[in-house]
Amino acid sequence: MENKKAVQLKNFSINNEETAPLTTNQGLKVSEDEFSLKTGLRGPTLMEDFHFREKMTHFDHERIPERVVHARGVGAHGIFQLYESLVEYTKADFLTDTSKTTPVFVRFSTVQGSRGSSDTVRDVRGFATKFYTDEGNFDLVGNNMPVFFIQDAIKFPDFVHALKPEPHTEIPQGASAHDTFWDFIGQNHESAHMVMWVMSDRAIPRSLRMMEGFGVHTFRLINADGEAHFVKFHWKPNLGVHSLVWDEAQRIAGKNPDFHRQDLYEAIEKGDFPEWELGLQVIPEKDEFKFDFDILDPTKLWPEEEVPVKIVGKMTLNRNVDNFFAETEQVAFHPGHVVPGIDFSNDPLLQGRLFSYTDTQLSRLGGPNFHQIPINQPVCPFHNNQRDGMHQMAIHKGQTSYHRNGLNANQPEPAPVELGGYESYQEKIEGRKIRGRSDSFLDFYSQAKLFYNSLTPIEQQHLKDALSFELGKCKSAMVKNNVVALLNRIDRQVAEEVSDHIGAVLPEENLEVKSDKKSSALSMANTVSQTDTKCVAILLNGEVEDAVLTDWIKTLAQFNINYSIVAEKIYTINHFLKVTDTFDTADSSLFDAALFISTSSKVEPPILEFIETSYKHFKPLALAVKDNKALERCRVRLDAPGVYNLSRSDFPPFIEGITQGRFWERPL
């Protein structure tokens, strides 16, 4: 026989800085890595796309045991009550029967950081809801922003790799202010719209109870006659949409990194149950191409002026979990968990998620039986021929475990559609198998401009400040220049201000989108303002009369305003009042307003800092000071908006100030 030299395996080391073709894990050279394989440019993703499946499978199993994204979360139980039947649009039982109360479980989360990161980082917030309906579980797996960074799911591993801590240093944790994230943004202009949202105040919510939720994707509603409507899902918080200011968010991350989860837990424990109303945007199938954007594009929203939001029900979170790991950590959401009357669109990001989520649970929850974990079990019976596997907890009885069978009268057998069996919408599909992007997905900048135009001047300034901060952390001049070039396509003035601040090159030609179009729904200035569940820090300095303090606290209680009494040391004031925090443990960033009560002419620096920081963060500030010398060293303008001198006026104006929340016109 001919001697053949044995193939020697090399030391397995990959240097991605070398010039080399992109390949699969099997060494196959890849000709396209930005688009999954679809039936036509706007058609569904095909299961035969082996490159997408390999790439997504590897990504889904990168980290054990916490989630790859959305690792840091907090959950709560609640109920959903429908206001009016939607039988015109869907046959889903929980959306047509107003007499039913549907149990829900909601998990809020950050996207970037690990389980040990901080709650108040600048980030998208996950907003996932599991409806335990009588027809099975329906999971609405969304975010607090209505759009996303990418259009096709095949790019999701790339986006998250860029967003996560850089692999050579594992820095930074839970933050997007670094080169790889902004390099991705500069190289992928489809992210233009989403990055404006992430740089806005929406990315630093005041509370999980005070943020909107969005299903992000376009779904379908199917009624009993088989008629279809496209739909987007919205959650509208009854407390309104409110945010922190950036300096607050940073201070809170150091003072109380569990701020949001603690806020949610304590609100539910007190009986201040958070509430959201469910809203639907509905488009008839015949109007799919009526708009100047593609309704299947996940980087686009449907402006509420063009497609109004119909409010259809209310969700109330009324019970905290009994065990964080058993419930919040083990809950498994999946956009593919639907019920009759709800179906999918050909949104290419949604199509990829329908594969990815099940694949992720197999690794994270130890096998295919994750649906048997109590938090994931449906409330209705379930029967099938799936058997064994890791962590099998059910004891299946009987001889058969296959379909069709004669030994068990073909049980369990498929349910006819008229008896509740699920039937996919029979959409007609035509097209060549292709990797690519529909031309209708190519407008990356118009809605980014719409969002920016819709903000108030103070919101716009916050957005520019955020861009300057984030890009100012980048080391690469190329990365900075590329992002400024992107901003130049959205708004020239933004590009000018940011480039000047970070020392980047401003393109000579102004390429901004020429549009003054606005949407009032996109500005938080138009949200609900109220006192409910806000928290006031009552700062004590000197000997304070019990009766005066008691009267003010009773007034706060009338408006459902919470409070904490802060002093130099913890002590009992009377039989129902106690100092709960000291100036060492409390911080102004943890409260919505401050009331300073002083009978002494001497004020220590920690108290002055507390007052001055409340003022700097534009919060309402009430002062009840017997000796004016107490404020001589305080850098607060007593005549500024939102500053109330309780020695010259009564308490109601301070309550009105708490309702307003921020006084942006205040001089600093």
Indicate which residues carry an active-site annotation: 70, 143
Amino acid type, 201: D
358-397 residues labelled b (16+ CB within 10 A) or e (exposed): bbbbbbbbeebbbbebebbebeeeeeeeeeeeeeeeeeee
Rama region for 518: left / alpha / beta (φ>0; ψ in -120 to 50; rest): beta
- The burial of 513, by beta-carbon neighbours within 10 Å (0-12 exposed, 13-18 middle, 19 or more buried), is given as buried
Residue with tokens 């989630």: 67
* Cβ-based neighbours of 666, under 8 Å, separated by 6 or more: 615, 618, 637, 640, 641, 642, 643
Is 133 in a helix, a strand, or coil? Answer: strand
Q: Which helix (H) or strand (E) holds 480?
A: helix 477-490
| Contact assessment for residue 140 and residue 215, using Cβ atoms and an 8 Å cutoff | yes
Q: Pseudo-torsion of CA 159, 160, 162, 164, nearest 10°?
A: 160
| Contact assessment for residue 255 and residue 120, using Cβ atoms and an 8 Å cutoff | no
Beta sheet of 621-625, edge-to-edge order = 581-582, 562-567, 535-541, 593-598, 621-625, 643-645
Cis peptide before 653 (omega within 30 of 0): no
Concatenating the DSSP letter of every residue in 320-364 gives: E-S-IIIIIIT----TT---TTEEE---HHHHHHHHHHHHHHHHH
